[in-house]
Chains A and B, each alone.
Chain A
């Protein structure tokens, strides 16, 4: 079936109602609908089996050898001043590999980051 035949059959009615310019260019032969291989046919997703068996890996599921777990300490107050930040108690805990100060001045919103820690578990 040719493009113009579709139009005449009313299959591309919207072109008439739009009253715009019809697309220009080479006439192409379109496939008849019953011959469509994908459109209108149910298709199984490629990850189906992985998802329903729990094998699909999301970020939280990825584990590496010697991986550290990180955590950020956030401000419990919407407006506050950090007067003193002592990282040593965190540093001295077993398994802690790194402690970082992320802020040492004014905290401007609840949840603003203050410090970060990375530890083996």
Chain B
């Protein structure tokens, strides 16, 4: 054994695990082999495993077509392929909410959402809220109420707020807390964020 340190190995990372699961080319090839063998025994033939797929979806009111791999998250496709970096990659494991976007009006963590599932859906990111020069009322309220400090978590908070106010136009302070409980702000600006949400709710009900 020429490399004993290697044998003890590295812990399996989430990324490596996902890749092995059938995301990447190697994983996909492996899956094909296993499925092929089973299929051979059963006497049926299966199509080759998917390595790439062209998906079409509505992004910020524009139709986009993009080639994705099954392992890619919506977050990665938005940031790296479509160059929309307003959606933040922070924890990349569904804890912080920095990557929140709307899929068919519902707030989702784009870091946990396979890009391939966006096919045919309507996706809204922070870049798609304003209409030209006119900010969305939630965006206005976050500026007016100073609902951010460093601003890094803000796109996620704003997207969660939009989803919250769409399903509950007049949330109580408790409902605001629970509605935004999937988003973290490390500056600890929660008080001002809640004020911004309440102000936005008022603005939108008046409008």
Q: Which residues of A are at the interface with B, using a C-beta cutoff of 8 A?
A: 44-45, 47-49, 51-58, 60-61, 63, 76, 80-84, 86, 121
Contacts and interface: CB of A to CB of B under 8 A. Distances in A.
B47 interface: no
A105 B70 CA distance: 40
Given A49-B135, A76-B11, A54 B5 contact: no
A52 B134 CA distance: 12
B130 A44 contact: no
A107 B151 CA distance: 38
A82 B4 CA distance: 10
Given A44-B144, A48-B143, 8 more contacts: A49-B135, A51-B143, A51-B154, A52-B142, A52-B154, A53-B139, A56-B151, A84-B3
A49 B143 contact: yes
12 contacts: A44-B144, A45-B143, A51-B154, A52-B126, A52-B142, A52-B155, A54-B84, A54-B125, A54-B126, A55-B86, A56-B151, A83-B3
A54 B89 contact: no
Nearest to B84: A54
B152 interface: yes
- Tell which of B88, B135, B142, B151 has the most Cβ of chain A within 10 Å: B151
Nearest to A77: B8
B158 interface: yes
